């Protein structure tokens, strides 16, 4: 079974780890590809950082800091401290010594002319994540955030990382332009991974700046809408709040309520329920919501054409996460019939 995921960082990483656990324990013959958001990527200190790719790679490869959810375990921050003593900005980004080696290798390979997809493959040769990681694009794409400027009536844009990490998403976001999207091409294998999948899963990643960013890459939305595979998403919103991260600050910027239902409606159904078989304009066939807090959502979504189920949705550990993945695959299986 070919399973393709469209994922951001921490949520996508943990979901994929649960999926691998489910595959291993169920004996499912699965070939998993994860199309990863690269809109969070940033060049810092002359080094190219790919936070989402690294979070997934480290999580699946056993190198992640479980406590932080990002970066390496047993991490030290010696280089960052020294950079600070040189007065080099930024100082608000936590760049560990172990982590830094990844960025050094990546930057050197990019400088030598290798595309990001090839670099990712090379890095994964060490980490053996057990899945194929595909950057959404080999082209440089950066999510920026438009916020109010200091002077009334003005606006300014900052890199997503600065908004997210430095300002903790506290500056009201007005828009999330994806810089470079007008010329960027999908990464090698990305569209094929979607069109050739048996199931497409959307992990509980940020619907705006993770999955939403991947959806902006040329051809991705069309591939999702055209694939023969069922597309099943897992709500990142449980009981009206993000499970992790600050997705609410992103959703409000695009006028979407922070509810499991609103996010499903934002993604939209691939096939509308009424009239039967009409184009729903969206990307979803199925949608998992949390049974403890959002059990009314499946009924509310029934009229949209999105088949929704309520199951325990908290990724408290690998086993619980594997159960969510199993439920998503079961829903997909039912949708295929």
Q: Where along the sequence are the contacts to its own copies (CB under 8 A)?
A: 45-47, 76, 78-79, 82-83, 85-88, 97-98, 100-102, 104-105, 107-108, 111, 122-123, 125-126
Q: What is d(CA 200, CA 6) in angstroms, rounded to the nearest whole number? A: 8
Q: What is d(CA 269, CA 264) in angstroms, rounded to the nearest whole number? A: 8
Residue nearer to its own copies on the CB measure, 111 or 277 = 111
72-102 residues labelled b (16+ CB within 10 A) or e (exposed): beebebeebeebeeeeeebeebebbebbbeb
Residue nearer to its own copies on the CB measure, 79 or 181 = 79
Closest contact distance (angstroms) between CB of 85 and its own copies is 6
Closest contact distance (angstroms) between CB of 140 and its own copies is 15
Q: By C-alpha distance, which of 126, 164, 128 is closest to 42?
A: 164
Rg of the Cα atoms in the chain: 19
Is 304 within 8 Å of 270 (Cβ atoms)? no
Closest contact distance (angstroms) between CB of 139 and its own copies is 20
Q: Count Cα neighbours of 82 within 13 Å in the Cβ-side half-sphere.
A: 7
Residue nearer to its own copies on the CB measure, 125 or 228 = 125
Rounded (5°) CA angle 194-196-198: 90
Residue nearer to its own copies on the CB measure, 105 or 181 = 105
Residue nearer to its own copies on the CB measure, 46 or 153 = 46
Is 160 within 8 Å of 40 (Cβ atoms)? yes
Q: What is d(CA 134, CA 238) in angstroms, rounded to the nearest whole number? A: 28
**121 token code pair:** 């493959």
Is 304 within 8 Å of 297 (Cβ atoms)? no
Closest contact distance (angstroms) between CB of 151 and its own copies is 29
Residue nearer to its own copies on the CB measure, 11 or 135 = 135
Cβ-Cβ contacts under 8 Å for 276 (sequence gap 6 or more): none
Closest contact distance (angstroms) between CB of 220 and its own copies is 30
Q: What is d(CA 158, CA 17) in angstroms, rounded to the nearest whole number? A: 32
Residue nearer to its own copies on the CB measure, 74 or 150 = 74
Closest contact distance (angstroms) between CB of 72 and its own copies is 8
Closest contact distance (angstroms) between CB of 75 and its own copies is 9
Is 7 within 8 Å of 203 (Cβ atoms)? yes
Residue nearer to its own copies on the CB measure, 133 or 324 = 133
Closest contact distance (angstroms) between CB of 57 and its own copies is 12
């Amino acid at each position: 079974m070919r399973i393709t995921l469209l994922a951001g960082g921490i949520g996508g990483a943990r979901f994929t780890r649960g999926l691998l656990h489910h595959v291993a324990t169920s004996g499912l013959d699965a070939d998993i590809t994860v199309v990863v958001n690269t809109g969070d990527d940033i060049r810092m200190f002359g080094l190219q950082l790919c936070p989402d790719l690294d979070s997934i790679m480290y999580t699946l490869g056993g190198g992640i800091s479980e406590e932080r959810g990002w970066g390496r375990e047993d991490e030290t921050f010696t280089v960052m401290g020294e950079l600070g003593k040189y007065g080099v900005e930024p100082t608000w980004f936590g760049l560990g010594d172990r982590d830094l080696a990844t960025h050094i290798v990546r930057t050197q390979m990019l400088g030598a002319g290798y595309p990001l997809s090839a670099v990712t493959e090379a890095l994964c040769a060490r980490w053996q994540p057990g899945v194929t990681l595909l950057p959404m694009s080999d082209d440089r794409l950066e999510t920026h955030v438009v916020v109010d400027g200091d002077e009334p009536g003005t606006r300014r844009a900052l890199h997503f990382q600065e908004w997210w990490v430095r300002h903790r998403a506290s500056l009201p976001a007005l828009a999330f332009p994806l810089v470079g999207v007008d010329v960027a091409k999908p990464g090698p294998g990305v569209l094929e991974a979607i069109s050739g999948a048996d199931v497409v899963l959307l992990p509980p990643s940020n619907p705006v700046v993770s999955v939403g960013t991947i959806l902006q890459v040329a051809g991705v939305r069309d591939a999702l809408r055209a694939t023969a595979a069922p597309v099943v998403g897992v709500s990142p919103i449980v009981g009206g709040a993000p499970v992790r991260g600050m997705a609410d600050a992103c959703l409000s910027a695009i006028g979407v309520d922070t509810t499991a239902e609103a996010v499903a409606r934002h993604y939209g159904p691939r096939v509308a329920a009424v009239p039967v078989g009409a184009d729903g304009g969206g990307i979803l066939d199925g949608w998992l919501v949390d049974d403890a807090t959002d059990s009314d959502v499946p009924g509310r979504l029934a009229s949209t054409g999105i088949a929704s189920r309520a199951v325990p949705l908290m990724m408290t550990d690998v086993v619980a996460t594997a159960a969510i993945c199993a439920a998503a695959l079961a829903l997909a299986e039912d949708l295929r019939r």
